[in-house]
Structure 1
Amino acid sequence: MSDTRTASLYRMVMPGHVCPYGLKSKDLLERKGYAVDDHHLKTRHETDAFRKRHGVKTTPQTFIGERRIGGYDELRRFFGKPVADPQATSYKPVIAIFATCALMALMAAFVATGQFSVRTAEWFIAFSMCALAMQKLQDIESFSTMFLNYDLLARRWVRYGYLYPFAEGIAGVLMIGGVLNVLSIPLALFIGTIGALSVFKAVYIERRELKCACVGGNSKVPLGFVSLTENLMMVAMGLWMLAR
């Protein structure tokens, strides 16, 4: 292999810490066909000395020939790969949850009945409600703060933002089993209706650009059609179970 296909990588490998971006850089270089001259920075002193010598603030650092490529993000750009913007909005979290819950519902229906029916759709919505509730409950303080940006009831009664994830989760669990409909149906109808009205007002009437708290308070999901759909699904589920 020629020298042009050899890269030098300097990364932290200490007893209590192995830099994850260093590992990612090494993996990316090897996948691109480079032989990696892997230099371990084994102490904080070695790391600080390396940074000072090369005038850089972070490690890992990759060199190809005499050229310093930089850290992991710069290495991705060097190979023409996209680098995620930490501030960019994305529907990926919601898509991942809905896709996973849809597959769960399909498998649950197949195991339970050997066929796919209306019950499959019911489980999909109920599983989705539970998954979204779990996301919110991971950091209920952050969720309630983001929720206050647009929810009509939470703005009038702040504690509603703390109760919402529990109500969504309880309704979802009960709907999975089809038990205590006297509790699950009103819960789904109530929170779904308030949520849909709140999203519609914020997005389609006031034209505000906000982030949705549907997958938790640190979400980068934009408030919009997907958020409205989530709430309408709960309303539809409640009405369906009430009619049935």
Structure 2
Amino acid sequence: MLDRVNPSTAVKKAVLYRMVTAEHTCPYGLKAKDLLRRSGYEVDDRHLTTRAQTDAFKVEHGVKTTPQVFIDGARVGGYDDLRRYFGKPVADPKATTYRPVIVLFAMTALMAMGVSYAVFGTPFTVRALEWFIAFSMVVLAMLKLQNVETFATMFLNYDLLAKRWVPYSYIYPYAEGLAGVLMVAGVANWLSVPVALFIGGIGAVSVFKAVYIDKRELKCACVGGSSNVPLGFISLTENLMMIAMAVWMALASSGLMLGHQM
């Protein structure tokens, strides 16, 4: 009697064509191979080792990109198509998201608590809160400065001062970074406080007007010019944090508030 093959235990096989040359290994090919293996497939991994071979493959199968996956003799498609085949979500590069700012604020909060623990032996101090805001300002400035031209273009969509004086759109990230660094160090409050108050105040009014009065739907330039973070509450929070930090440090410097641990 012949043994019956249990379909649930049968080896699932897939054929993967991906570009692998001396100059380039397709990252989506590697991701497709990994996804297939994690999904229980035995992968027949076929390399396209030259540009000519790759172009010939595209013409033969009528496709524009590689990698290409075949399962049970039928073409599934590229990496995104493979994710859809397995019922997995596919990211939309044009979709709006708050992930960049959520990750940013989470990491700067952890950084602030880490420094507080190293200095004071506890992560929960007033100074940790100050460092959180200051670190956030520095990181936000860094993201803007990665491509200041793109940031300035987005910023001009809604900032009231930048619309009247374009150079301000280029000055803003440098001013934010400078104020943040000085606040991290706790020095030169005479400079950091007015700078933070100025840019934070104008920014808060600009965002409030654009979003809540004019009802405009815009992308926020707060985490750089290439993000899909919508302009709104998060952008307003960034500016309000700068204002709050500036007021706090101004009062602390005046001796009206005990803001630091000795």
The TM tier, using the shorter chain, reads over 0.9
Equivalent residue number for residue 237 of structure 2: 229
Q: 1:142 aligns with which of 139, 144, 150?
A: 150
Distance (Å, rounded) in 1 between the aligned partners of 2:147 and 2:55: 35
Matched, 1:10 2:11: no
TM-score normalised per structure 1? 0.98
Equivalent residue number for residue 220 of structure 2: 212
Unaligned runs of 5+ in 1: none
Equivalent residue number for residue 52 of structure 2: 45
* 1:70-93 per-position Cα deviation (integer Å, ceiling 9, x unaligned): 000000111111111111111111
> What is the percent sequence identity of the aligned residues?
67
Distance (Å, rounded) in 1 between the aligned partners of 2:133 and 2:51: 51
Equivalent residue number for residue 155 of structure 1: 163
Q: 2:100 aligns with which of 75, 93, 112?
A: 93
- Flag the structure with higher helix content: 1
* 1:152-183 per-position Cα deviation (integer Å, ceiling 9, x unaligned): 00000000000000000000000001000000
Distance (Å, rounded) in 1 between the aligned partners of 2:207 and 2:216: 10
Equivalent residue number for residue 28 of structure 1: 35
Distance (Å, rounded) in 2 between the aligned partners of 1:209 and 1:120: 34
Matched, 1:102 2:98: no
* 1:75-122 per-position Cα deviation (integer Å, ceiling 9, x unaligned): 011111111111111111111110100000000000011122111100
TM-score normalised per structure 2? 0.91
CA-based RMSD: 0.8
1:17 partner SS: coil
Matched, 1:127 2:102: no
Deviation at residue 2 of structure 1 after TM alignment:
3.0
Distance (Å, rounded) in 2 between the aligned partners of 1:241 and 1:81: 48
User: Any runs of at least 4 consecutive aligned residues in structure 1 with deviations exceeding 4 A, and if so which?
Assistant: none
1:238 alignment partner AA? A
Distance (Å, rounded) in 2 between the aligned partners of 1:59 and 1:178: 53
Task: State which structure, 1 or 2, has the greater radius of gyration over its C-alpha atoms.
Answer: 2
Structure 1 residues 54-203: aligned runs within 5 Å:
54-115=61-122, 116-203=124-211
1:101 partner SS: helix
Deviation at residue 48 of structure 1 after TM alignment:
1.1
* 1:20-50 per-position Cα deviation (integer Å, ceiling 9, x unaligned): 0000000111111111000000011111111
Unaligned runs of 5+ in 2: 1-8, 253-262
1:195 alignment partner AA? G
2:221 alignment partner AA? A
Distance (Å, rounded) in 1 between the aligned partners of 2:82 and 2:45: 15
Deviation at residue 218 of structure 1 after TM alignment:
1.0
Would you say how many aligned residue pairs link Structure 1 and Structure 2?
A: 243
Distance (Å, rounded) in 1 between the aligned partners of 2:96 and 2:149: 21
1:25 alignment partner AA? A
